[in-house]
Amino acid sequence: MTQVPSVAESIDQPIGEIVPNWTPSLHPLSQTHPLQGQYCRLELLNSQTNDTIIQQLFDAFKPTEQTHFTYVAYGPFTTTDEFKEFIKSKELPSSGTVLYCILVNDIAVGFISFLRINQQNGSIEIGNVSFSEKLLRTRAATEANFLMLQYAFDILGYRRLEWKCNALNAKSCRAALRLGYQYECTWIKAEVCKGRSRDNAWFSIIDDEWAALKPEFQRWLNSNNFDSNGQQLTKLNSAQINPRSHNVG
């Protein structure tokens, strides 16, 4: 059992709550893959990935590549070999990244990743969220995020899930809020990205909030929530259900 240093009760200083019996979270690669959902499947995306899947991903982003990669440090990719080099670079220990390919009906339509993996403190980021036009505004898109959240909280034991994006990327900010992440802050001049100054907007979900958010994801993803044309009957209410949203201000 982890020993907690004693602190004199008489000190007049605020301190954080004790985390009883804390052990570091598991690494995403320590568990079984793929991550299977109702509408999509997440498989590891690395140098061992089938060339067919690589080509499907490359082709999926081609029609919108001039706008799709505006707010991220990577892309657009000129050739599949260049895309493969990007994937290979994310396998380096220094990248701290685990990439996943998103497959719908066995067709690759996007990718997503874990990064900033801090096992010791139980913090991890979901990032490199790249959804092609075939995936946007679909049940599978929401489910892909749900599978990542569920895996990190329920299986790997993380305390904090982060979402970071270019502060000017309004679509990514809206997506984070829809999924139940809470806005925390913006780091001004955090990076130089593709020769331009970048401010980073930070959002998070913590383990205490996941207990309320998970049933809402499951409710929304239920097939009964969609009509015969695949249109949602009710909206995802994660933004309102997150307990932290009621404590702002």
Q: Which residues pair with 182 in a beta bridge?
A: 204
Nearest partner of 179 among 115, 124, 239, judged by Cα: 239
- Establish if 115 belongs to a structural domain: yes
CB atoms within 10 A of CB 11: 8
- Max distance between CA atoms of the chain, in angstroms, equals 65
CATH code for the domain of 97: 3.40.630.30
Q: How many domains, in total, are found in the chain?
A: 1
CA distance linking residue 136 with residue 134, whole number of Å: 6
* pLDDT at residue 249, rounded to an integer: 47
Distances in Å between the Cα of 93 and the Cα atoms of 28, 82, 97, 107, 135 are: 13, 20, 8, 28, 29
- Establish if 11 belongs to a structural domain: no
Nearest partner of 53 among 73, 34, 80, judged by Cα: 80
Residues 115-136 have pLDDT tens digits of 999 999 999 999 999 999 999 9
Residue owning tokens 């067919």: 52
Nearest partner of 37 among 129, 131, 149, judged by Cα: 149
* pLDDT at residue 247, rounded to an integer: 64
* Of the listed ranges 17-31, 197-211, 233-247, the one predicted with least confidence: 233-247
Residues 15-39 have pLDDT tens digits of 999 999 999 999 999 987 899 999 9
CA distance linking residue 120 with residue 68, whole number of Å: 34
- Establish if 123 belongs to a structural domain: yes
Range of the domain at 150: 28-246
* pLDDT at residue 5, rounded to an integer: 56
- Establish if 21 belongs to a structural domain: no
- Establish if 190 belongs to a structural domain: yes
**Which amino acid, one-letter code, is at 168?**
L
Q: Are 146 and 37 within 8 A, CB to CB?
A: yes
- Establish if 118 belongs to a structural domain: yes
- Over residues 133-141, mean pLDDT: 94
- Establish if 3 belongs to a structural domain: no
- Establish if 61 belongs to a structural domain: yes
Contacts of residue 85, defined as CB under 8 A and 6 or more positions apart, other chains included, come to: none
pTM over 0.75: yes
* pLDDT at residue 75, rounded to an integer: 95
